[in-house]
Amino acid sequence: MQKIDKLWQKGKDFLGCEIAILGGAMSWVSERNLVAAISNAGAFGVIACGSMSPALLKAEIVATKKLTQKPFGVNLIIMHSDLDSLIDVCIAEQISHIVLAGGIPKASMVNKIKQSGAKAICFAPSAPIGKKLAKYGVDGLIIEGSEAGGHIGQVSTSVLAQEILPEIRDVPVFVAGGIGRGEAIASYLEMGASGVQIGTRFVASEESIAHPHFKQVFIKSNARDAIASNQVDADFPVVPVRAIENKASKAFIRFQIETIADYRAGRLDKKEAMLKIEHFWAGALKKAVIEGDVDNGSLMAGQSVGMVRQIEPVHTIIHDLLRQAESYLKHE
Taking only the tens of pLDDT, the chain with its 332 residues reads 579 999 999 999 999 999 999 999 999 999 999 999 999 999 999 999 998 999 999 999 999 999 999 999 999 999 898 999 999 999 999 999 999 999 899 999 999 999 999 999 999 999 999 999 998 899 999 999 999 999 898 999 999 999 999 999 999 999 999 999 999 999 999 999 999 999 999 999 999 999 999 999 999 999 999 999 888 898 888 888 999 999 998 888 999 999 999 999 999 999 888 888 877 877 899 999 999 999 999 999 999 999 999 999 999 999 999 999 999 999 87
- Name beta bridge partners: 228: 242
User: Which are the contacts of 73, defined by CB distance < 8 A and separation ≥ 6?
Assistant: 22, 44, 45, 46, 47, 95, 96, 97, 98, 99, 121
Quick one: 44 and 157 in the same domain? Answer: yes
Quick one: 274 and 318 in the same domain? Answer: no
Long-range contacts of 100-103 (CB under 8 A, 24+ apart): 100/76, 101/25, 101/75, 101/76, 101/77, 102/77, 102/78, 102/151, 103/78, 103/79
Quick one: 296 and 325 in the same domain? Answer: no
User: Which residue type does 214 have?
Assistant: F
Quick one: 24 and 102 in the same domain? Answer: yes
Q: Count up the domains in the chain and report the number.
A: 2
Distances (CA, A) of 59 to 70, 157, 177, 312: 18, 34, 29, 27
Round to whole Å and give the CA distance between 100 and 141.
Answer: 10
Range of the domain at 69: 2-207+313-330
Quick one: 23 and 158 in the same domain? Answer: yes
User: Which residue type does 149 have?
Assistant: G
Quick one: 158 and 224 in the same domain? Answer: no
Quick one: 188 and 67 in the same domain? Answer: yes
CATH number at residue 77: 3.20.20.70
Over the stretch 223-241, which tens digit does the pLDDT of each residue have?
Answer: 999 999 888 898 888 888 9
Kindly give the pairing relationship between strand 241-244 and strand 150-151.
antiparallel
Quick one: 37 and 174 in the same domain? Answer: yes
Quick one: 197 and 147 in the same domain? Answer: yes
- Can you give the pLDDT at residue 1? 57
Quick one: 237 and 300 in the same domain? Answer: yes
User: Which residue type does 276 have?
Assistant: K
Quick one: 268 and 182 in the same domain? Answer: no
Round to whole Å and give the CA distance between 322 and 15.
Answer: 17
Measured in degrees and rounded to the nearest 5, phi and psi for residue 190 equal -65, -25
Quick one: 103 and 242 in the same domain? Answer: no
- Can you give the pLDDT at residue 238? 81
